[in-house]
Amino acid sequence: MINLPDWEKSGLSHIWLPYCQMKNMALPLPVVGALGCKIKLADGRELIDGIASWWSACHGYQHPEIIAAVENQLKTLPHIMFGGLAHEPGYRLAGELVKILPRGMSKVFFSDSGSTAVEIAMKMAVQYWHNQGQSRKNRFICFRHGYHGDTMGAMSISDPESGMHKLWNGYMPMQYVLDIPSDEYSFAEFKELVAGIRKTAAAVIIEPLVQCAGGMKFHSADVLAAIKNICKENEILFIADEIATGFGRTGNIFACNEAGITPDIMCIGKALTGGVIGMAATIATEEIFVKFYSDDPTHAFMHGPTYMANPLACSAALASLEVFKKENRLAAVEKIEAQLSAELALCQAFPGVEDVRVKGAIGVVQLSEMSTEKKLKLRQEFIESGCWIRPLEDVIYLMPPLTISEQELTKLTSAIYEGLKKC
């Protein structure tokens, strides 16, 4: 049906694609460019982007200031190792991030992907206790519907069902998977469970306010703050995975801000560079850092990726932070939130729609169930209406670039409405 360019035809026999059964997959759409909130296809069609390249392209594509910053950096120092050598973009970025992170977060450890940032957070938590002679505290408390990445440690703390844990039975570390408590009764139960495992639990890890890839499930800032408090009472670290929620997505610059909490360790990634280059970071408070700061060489933190603090990525992130302030992205999120709420509410009328919910620039239409056929049919409908929207689990969601115009956003929400009407 789509006319494939030569490079895709010949490459197809050598490429292995993510999350898909290669035998009967729908062929990926060939892309030749992207500008603003539009993706340009090889056949000349344009799609409005409802996903922002897995939630990373917060300023849309080809933002001139980010492109210029990366171009300049490319001419002077595209990369240099971070062990034993220092460069300005990396050191400046650490300082700029600390200025906007929740108060008290102060030590930034760079890496190259979200999953790696999560692995680093997990190693940091385990070594934090080890350095204090508490090496039994090496398990994690995590939540059903959570998603923290695809590497082994990150997978072990993600939802066991959607993470397909049984495929790696015996290889993957066992963790404590609990439900996010929501009311008095479930909090009492949660407290009791946590108290029972405090001696072996290094940390709780949570996606604050919105569990994204595991089904776009929301919880309140009060719930988040209460979980943080229970961690403190039980001497368990609190890790916030803000890889998806960070940089304005939920309405605050970080989701933790809404709950007024400072995690012990935080992970950021995705929108960090404005979606231009892969980069992530794990940030710790001073209290965590001091347990590594000692005369004992074995207390040093043992990690260091080859492309750590890549200067191109750092320069993109620095420019992205500037643009974020200058173009007031948080105000844009507020407008997107209002528009998503008003327009997606119409979908509530369809049978099979269980719930419509919006948080910041995240709009979700929850179906009671979604078959694989329905998912594929909807995807196709969306493409035909000029929109890039991919249903996930049992939800249809929008997480567009924060620069999306009112008209473009209406096109996305109408596509969902019309798609539901047809399918």
* Shortest CB 117 distance to ligand PLP, Å: 7
The pattern of x and - marking residues 259 through 288 that bind ligand PLP according to CB under 6 A reads ----------xx------------------
Nearer to ligand PLP, 155 or 383 (CB): 155
Residue in 38, 107, 137, 147 annotated catalytic: 147
Task: For residue 137, give the nearest of 231, 46, 71, 201 by alpha carbon.
Answer: 201
Q: What is residue 369's DSSP assignment? A: -
Q: How far apart are CA 351 and CA 244, in angstroms?
A: 30
Nearer to ligand PLP, 90 or 269 (CB): 269
Q: How far apart are CA 56 and CA 73, in angstroms?
A: 21
Whole-Å CA distances, 222 to 142, 179, 181, 185, 396: 18, 16, 11, 15, 26
What tokens were used for 38?
């539009």
Nearer to ligand PLP, 143 or 382 (CB): 143
The residue within the footprint of ligand PLP, chosen from 243, 316, 332, 399 (CB under 6 A), is 243
Residue in 241, 264, 375, 397 annotated catalytic: 241
176 among known catalytic residues? no
Pairing relationship of beta strands 280-285 and 105-111 according to DSSP bridges: antiparallel
Stretch that binds ligand PLP, among 75-83, 114-122, 247-255, 291-299 (CB under 6 A): 114-122
* Shortest CB 228 distance to ligand PLP, Å: 17
* Shortest CB 161 distance to ligand PLP, Å: 17
166 among known catalytic residues? no
- Which residues, in sequence order, are CB contacts of 175 under 8 Å at separation 6+? 139, 140, 141, 142, 156, 157
Please state the separation of Cα 294 from the chain's center in Å.
33
For residues 110 and 120, the answer to whether their CB atoms sit within 8 Å is no
244 near ligand PLP, rule: CB under 6 A: yes
Nearer to ligand PLP, 117 or 126 (CB): 117
114 near ligand PLP, rule: CB under 6 A: yes
Task: For residue 241, list its beta bridge partners.
Answer: 267
270 among known catalytic residues? yes
* Shortest CB 280 distance to ligand PLP, Å: 6
Residue in 6, 19, 75, 183 annotated catalytic: 19
- Which residues, in sequence order, are CB contacts of 333 under 8 Å at separation 6+? 248, 249, 251, 360, 361, 402
Nearer to ligand PLP, 131 or 211 (CB): 211
19 among known catalytic residues? yes
- Supply φ then ψ for residue 402, to 5 degrees: -75, -5
Pairing relationship of beta strands 139-143 and 176-178 according to DSSP bridges: parallel
* Shortest CB 54 distance to ligand PLP, Å: 6
The residue within the footprint of ligand PLP, chosen from 53, 73, 113, 310 (CB under 6 A), is 113
Nearer to ligand PLP, 212 or 256 (CB): 212
What tokens were used for 220?
């309140």
Q: Is 18 exposed, middle or buried (0-12, 13-18, 19+ CB in 10 A)?
A: exposed
Q: How far apart are CA 410 and CA 30, in angstroms?
A: 25
Stretch that binds ligand PLP, among 6-14, 238-246, 403-411, 412-420 (CB under 6 A): 238-246
The pattern of x and - marking residues 328 through 357 that bind ligand PLP according to CB under 6 A reads ------------------------------
The pattern of x and - marking residues 170 through 209 that bind ligand PLP according to CB under 6 A reads -------------------------------------x--
Q: How many residues sit close enough to ligand PLP to count as binding (CB under 6 A)?
A: 15
| Helix (H), strand (E), coil (C) string for 72-121 | HHHHHCCCCCCCCCCCHHHHHHHHHHHHHCCCCEEEEEEECCHHHHHHHH
**According to CB under 6 A, which residues from 134 to 153 bind ligand PLP?**
147-149
Nearer to ligand PLP, 38 or 148 (CB): 148
Positions in the binding site for ligand PLP (CB under 6 A):
113-115, 118, 147-149, 207, 212-213, 241, 243-244, 269-270
Enzyme catalytic residues = 19, 147, 241, 270
